[in-house]
Structure 1
Amino acid sequence: MSSLPTTTLRVASMLFKPRRGATADNVAGVVAAIERAARNGVELAVFPEACLTGGIGDTASSDARRTRRTALRELAQGIDSAPVLAVADAVERTGVAAGVGLIEAAPNGDLFSSYVVCLPGGERHVHRKLQPDGERHLARGDRFTVFDTHWGWRLAILIGGDNYLVENARMAALLGARLLVAPHARTGAIDAASSEWMRRALPARAIDNGMFVVYSDGACDGIQAGEDAGEDADENAGEGGAAAIVDPCGQVIAQDGQDPRGDDMIVADLDPALIGTSPGHRWLDARRPDLYARLATGRAREMPLDARAFEPRTASARGSVPVSFAMVRRERSQG
């Protein structure tokens, strides 16, 4: 476990709605938002999933999957592409670190929903979504992304559905993360329940693991088979979305609609003292990993029970003697 941070960190969750097929406009909007964040003294700006390219949309049917993959491939960008470098340049110019999402075209041809945190000084950290459920054309990432920063804070990234599994947030905490960056892309009415679930679940992730959580939901435009990428060109990139910042005690300290600085971001100063005093942080050291082998393998029902860890609980006592009972019915004689 890494040491606790000692300095306050000012973070912003950015309310930003990207448009699919309008990467240049999305990038320009992100850069302008970073500049606004700098004027508010923000040190880390968290943007939604796929905010540079758009493209996270409703689940495609099997018939539409090939068309959808082609459309996503046209949107996809490399990690060292011009859109990412433009964000990195804005980070260098303003001193504001920024997390941005994109559909990534990997060198081997795979597509990922990826998230890049650009830090001042040129350092970049990339996370590939571990749980792209319903997006069968997107490959799955194979590792956790946890890293140290020049502020003395250790950060982790989990994208969208990565946050649905409690094990992912716990692993981030065990790897020493004190701040979880949780970008998301809500995809309309079909996913409204998931977005609301995130609002309830993230405080639980925070308090269970003694970490801050910054949530940014971009209400991302999706890609449907046969859609024209220009159909929503009149929509403004800065509208829509949701945002929340949660402390290690599970308290929502800022959310969209509550920040006086405007409706394009929410801002909070993260007090590191809350980490050490949070219940989740204290209980991390009290875990019993020796009891969790069945959980770690994912085959709990197939593994034999270890009597030392799982004592049978029954109603009978050791050394008891079985007793038989008989019920006899008397017939009353007629007088």
Structure 2
Amino acid sequence: MPDSFNQGNKPKMFRKKSQAHQPIHELIHGVKSGNRRDLAKAITLIESNSQEHFQRGQELLKELTPHTGNSIRIGITGVPGAGKSTFIETFGESLCEQGYKVAVLAVDPSSTVTGGSILGDKTRMENLSRNPNAFVRPSPSGGVLGGVHRKTRETMLLCEAAGYDVILVETVGVGQSEVIVRGMVDFFMLLVITGAGDELQGMKKGIMELADLIVVNKADGDNLPAAEKTRREYKGILHFLQPATKGWETQAVTCSALHGKGIGDIWEAIADFQTATKESGVFSARRKSQTKEWLHSMIADRILNSFFHDPDIKRNFPDIEAEVISGRKTASQAVERLMELYKK
């Protein structure tokens, strides 16, 4: 198993002590040299809710940020049963064989994320986890969407500083997770299976509009004709949707993750996307826009956290909330009163 997994077997007190006392310059050197153990420690540091760890984590990021930005960031989501884990493992192994370093980050905003989440992600991608050119890591949120936004972004930066060329961000949750991940990656991929009509009834049109590539998986054996039919159906539907990326026409392709067929075509499409969007300036513009959105979300998260941890707010909030519920105060009046308390 990779070094990042071994970190999870150590007693909690030992892990915290090692993070708190290992000099930052050692972690910086370790991450830059591609040491997976130090990368795992650095990620754990920035994920910590401890104020001391937060400050050290930000110091670490400040030093490593100049060494980031050289990867292609790919978001991957899929309908239930689409074979997402198998696809990511096959795709990741294919890239590793070509000499790329691949990091896989799993995002689940709906989960409180326990240690078992790490085990689950790694057992689903057992071969990829053992590959020396791969790094598989969930990105915990603590059940807070803003937590995903910050921690996953910062984890991506650490992986880039460690020399990973391809960052695969897998959405484990549903709904808002796709929108969050779309807002932090360059390229977004939607995995589907045969039966496009049935799937579309349960799929929000908005999720399709986020995709730069639709991949019909399990295109093998007797299912091959149905998969090709589904690909044509999606291709027809895409003509009526707004493209996810300016200057790029969303494509629909087939593949068999189980047998490795069509994986090369998918990577070729991503390479074409990179070339086209970098030449047009869209790639750079998207990253700048995402950084701006990240700043705004960080401000909102910080203010919200500060507001609800304010002593006066904590003391008075239950009574004011009760007044709104009972109808003695309007919601607007309650907000005005709470803001008066907060400003003090």
Settle same-fold status: TM greater than 0.5.
no
The structure carrying a bigger strand percent of its residues is 1
* Larger RCO of the pair (alpha carbons < 8 Å, separation 6+): 1
Task: Look at both structures and tell me which one has the larger radius of gyration over its CA atoms.
Answer: 1
How would you bin the TM-score normalised by the shorter chain? Answer: 0.3 to 0.5
TM-score, normalised to structure 1's length?
0.37
